[in-house]
């Protein structure tokens, strides 16, 4: 999830766990604790892009990391606040809940999380939420602002903090239900349209949980489509993209290519854009794909220009967005 979500949700959890003992300091410790797993972003200072893609959300987002760092940070915080009557058990709960919450939330979107590192490099991706979803964050954000205003002994603090957590949890439940509905509809439609595939996934389009992006792989490529929870059409419009594996045979930097393939979890295609060979990871969607089915993909890596890929995920995420794009997204979200 985005950093703002981790900060405000962490602040609310910190208030619930240790607000009585620490006041606003509990919010600060909560925000810091839930943000900690993202310390792995510093790896981009010395790693090449393919290696950094695998390092991010790797060990620092694992269950083992949470188990190791929880007592470590709890002991540090206990020492820092040794003049306050805060039991070590409370610090353990605070750091444990915060860090486990972080890795659990990050496993909800397409990037994937290395929950079982270093024992397994498999990435866990539940694909229930986009990396930033305003409806998931908004109440926790408002609650955090209110908590900064209320006095330490104000009884409403706990109510607001609990509301911030509860509404996020409820929204995640709704997201999960929506995904199950769309996934079931997708499988039924693919069967009715006699489309054979070996694996598939559905994941939300940007900033919402009503319009879903669909990918179904076969041995030669991928079927791409979109489905709203409000769609009532019996057919699923799909566009087929060939994988073009033959284009990758001459890539000289085979190590980077293999890392990109591993990162993509098998959902990739190769394309020739003029004189540039491009590797696209399909999991992050298309640039306005609900509006232009043949559009390029958000994640596109220039295989012959490795130094030009520093923002390989972010650069295409909101490319070409304007008022028309937002309007078209809203229309498709509503099933029109």
Supply the DSSP string of 33-89, one letter for each residue: HHHGGGGGGGGGGTS-HHHHHHHTTSGGGSHHHHHHHHHHHHHHHHHHTTTS---HH
* Residue 161 host element (H or E): helix 156-192
Last residue in a domain, options 114, 139, 174 = 174
Q: Per residue in 116-148, pLDDT tens?
A: 999 999 999 999 999 999 999 999 999 999 999
Last residue in a domain, options 174, 202, 225 = 174
Strands (E) located in the chain: 199-204, 211-217, 221-228, 238-242, 268-273, 276-286, 297-302
* Assigned domain for 169 exists: yes
Q: Residues 139, 243: one domain? A: no
Q: Residues 163, 198: one domain? A: no
> How many distinct structural domains can be found in the chain?
2
Q: Per residue in 46-74, pLDDT tens?
A: 899 999 999 999 999 999 999 999 999 99
d(CA 131, CA 119): 26
Q: Residues 53, 122: one domain? A: yes
* Assigned domain for 95 exists: yes
Q: Residues 14, 105: one domain? A: yes
Model pLDDT, residue 324: 93
* Assigned domain for 53 exists: yes
Q: Residues 155, 226: one domain? A: no
Q: Residues 170, 211: one domain? A: no
Phi, psi of 225 (to 5 degrees): -155, 180
Q: Per residue in 69-103, pLDDT tens?
A: 999 999 999 999 988 889 999 999 999 999 999 99
Q: Residues 231, 161: one domain? A: no
Q: For a pLDDT cut of 70, what percent of the chain falls above it?
A: 100
Last residue in a domain, options 126, 144, 174 = 174
* Assigned domain for 170 exists: yes
Model pLDDT, residue 224: 97
Q: Residues 200, 285: one domain? A: yes
* Assigned domain for 263 exists: yes
- For residue 188, pLDDT over 80 is answered with yes
Distances (CA, A) of 205 to 82, 131, 132, 201: 47, 10, 10, 13
Question: Binning pLDDT at 50, 70 and 90, where does residue 171 land?
Answer: very high
Q: Residues 154, 203: one domain? A: no
Q: Residues 92, 130: one domain? A: yes
- For residue 270, pLDDT over 80 is answered with yes
**Is the pTM here over 0.75, yes or no?**
yes
Q: Residues 200, 160: one domain? A: no
Q: Residues 329, 217: one domain? A: yes
Model pLDDT, residue 183: 97
Model pLDDT, residue 323: 94
* Assigned domain for 280 exists: yes
Domain of 130, in residue numbers: 3-174
């Amino acid at each position: 999830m985005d950093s703002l979500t981790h900060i405000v949700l962490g602040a609310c959890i910190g208030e619930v766990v240790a607000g009585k003992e620490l006041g606003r300091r509990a919010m600060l410790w909560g925000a810091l604790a839930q943000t900690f797993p993202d310390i792995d972003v510093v790896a981009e200072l010395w790693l090449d892009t393919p290696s950094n893609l695998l390092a991010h959300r790797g060990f620092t987002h694992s269950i083992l990391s949470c188990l190791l760092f929880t007592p470590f940070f709890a002991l540090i915080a206990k020492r820092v606040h040794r003049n306050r009557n805060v039991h070590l058990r409370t610090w353990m709960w605070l750091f444990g809940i915060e860090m486990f919450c972080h890795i659990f939330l990050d496993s909800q979107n397409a990037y994937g999380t290395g929950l079982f590192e270093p024992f397994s490099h498999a990435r866990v991706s539940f694909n229930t939420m986009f990396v930033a979803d305003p409806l998931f964050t908004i109440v926790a954000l408002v609650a955090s602002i209110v908590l900064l205003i209320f006095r330490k002994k104000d009884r409403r603090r706990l109510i607001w903090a609990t509301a911030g957590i509860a509404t996020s949890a409820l929204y995640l439940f709704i997201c999960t239900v929506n995904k199950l509905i769309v996934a079931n509809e997708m499988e039924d439609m693919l069967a009715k349209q006699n489309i054979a595939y070996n694996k598939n996934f559905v994941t939300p389009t940007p900033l919402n949980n009503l319009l879903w992006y669909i990918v179904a792989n076969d041995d030669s490529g991928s079927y791409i489509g979109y489905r709203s929870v409000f769609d009532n059409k019996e057919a699923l419009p799909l566009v087929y993209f060939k994988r073009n594996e033959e284009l990758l045979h001459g890539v000289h930097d085979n190590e980077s290519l293999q890392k990109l393939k591993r990162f993509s979890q098998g959902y990739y295609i190769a394309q020739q854009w003029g004189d540039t060979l491009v590797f696209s990871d399909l999991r992050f969607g298309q640039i306005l794909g609900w509006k232009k089915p043949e559009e390029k993909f958000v994640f596109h890596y220039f295989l012959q220009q490795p130094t030009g890929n520093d923002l390989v995920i972010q650069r295409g995420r909101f490319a070409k967005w304007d008022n028309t794009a937002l309007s078209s997204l809203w229309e498709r979200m509503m099933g029109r």
